[in-house]
Amino acid sequence: MSPSNLWREIPQRYRLEAAFCPKCLTTYFPPRELCTECGSRELEKKKLPTRGKLVTYTVIHTPPKGFELYAPYIVGLIKLEDGTHLTAQITDADPDKLDLDVDVEAVIRKVKENGRDGPIYYGYKFRPILNANGAPERKC
């Protein structure tokens, strides 16, 4: 992913900005130009809620290039409080102790580093909500 490509996605990656069709009340994340439900072309900006529930997840043991340092890591499908879904890594969690339906919240983390001299890609990940007691552990 090139710097310009990354930069273009910053409103989504850093602030979870989505598009909303006021006519049929559909939310699109990532945002799009055309509401494919009702055909409207007048979509508005909407900020997504930062909390949700974990719908399902996987633990990646054979990472694609660039993610080796983080393996094993968890990627999950999350349903946010407003019903919007998105896919994101689940950080600060132990895959063996993660249940479906757990409450999660968005945080900003490093997604990819691109070596010692490349640009660092930051973006949203989700973690089980901040909880001092019995919080699930992460594998090294």
Partner 1 sequence: MMIPKSRVGIEGWGCYIPRYRIKTDDIASVWDAPVDRFKEDLMIQEKAIAGPDEDTITLSTEAAINAVKRAGIDPSEIGAVLCGSESHPYAVKPTGCTVAEVIGATPYTLAADLEFACKAGTEAVQMCMGLVASGMIKYGLAIGADVAQSAPGDDLEYAAASGAAALLIGPLSSSSAASIEATVSYVTDTPDFWRRAEQPYPKHGGPFTGLSYFHHVTSAAEHLMSELGLKPSDFDYVIFHQPNGKFPLRAASQLGFTKEQVSKGLLVPYIGNTYSGSSLLGLTAVLDEAAPGQQILLVSYGSGAGSDAMYIIVQDGVEEKRDAAPKVWDYIKRKQYIDYACYAKWRRMIIGLETK
Partner 2 sequence: MRKVAVIGVGMIKVDHHWKESIRSLFTKAAINALEDAGNPDIDALYVGNMSAGQFNKQENLAPMLADALGLESKPSLRVEEGCSSGSAALYMALKDVASGMHDFVLVGGVEKMMDTATNDATFIISTVTDQEYEAFTGLSLAGINAMVMRLYMNKFGVKRESFAKFVVQMHENASKNPYAQFPFKISLDKALNSAPVAEPIHLMDCAPIGDGAAALVICPAEKAKDFTSDQVDIIGAWKASDTFLFHMRKDFLSMKATIEASRNAYEMANITPEDVDVAEVHDSFSIAGILAIEDLGFARKGEGWIAVEEGLISPDGETPVNPSGGLKARGHPIGATGIYQAAEIVLQLRGDAGKRQVPDARIGITHNTSGFGTSAIVHVFKAE
Using CB under 8 A as the criterion, which residues of the chain lie in contact with partner 1 when the complex forms? Answer: 10, 14-15, 65-66, 68-70, 89, 91-92, 107-111, 113-116, 120, 122, 125, 130-133, 135, 137-138, 140
Q: How far apart are CA 41 and CA 10, in angstroms?
A: 23
- For the record, the structure tokens of 69 come out as 């340092």
Strands 44-47 and 17-21, by their bridges, are antiparallel
Q: Does 107 bind partner 2 (CB under 8 A)?
A: no
Q: Is 114 in the site for partner 2 (CB under 8 A)?
A: no
Amino acid occupying residue 68: E
In three-state secondary structure terms, 3 is: helix
The answer to whether 140 contacts partner 2 (rule: CB under 8 A) is: no
Taking residues 31 to 60 in sequence order and writing x for each that binds partner 2 by CB under 8 A, - otherwise, the string is ------------------------xxxxxx
Determine, following the binding rule CB under 8 A, whether residue 10 of this chain makes contact with partner 2: no
Beta bridge partners of residue 124, listed in sequence order: 108
Among 42, 64, 133, 140, binds partner 2 (CB under 8 A): 64
Count of H-run helices and E-run strands, the chain: 2, 8
Among 107, 121, 122, 136, binds partner 2 (CB under 8 A): 121
User: What ranges in 3-138 are assigned the alpha helix state H?
Assistant: 3-8, 10-15
Identify what 69 binds: partner 1, partner 2, none; CB under 5 to 8 Å per kind. partner 1
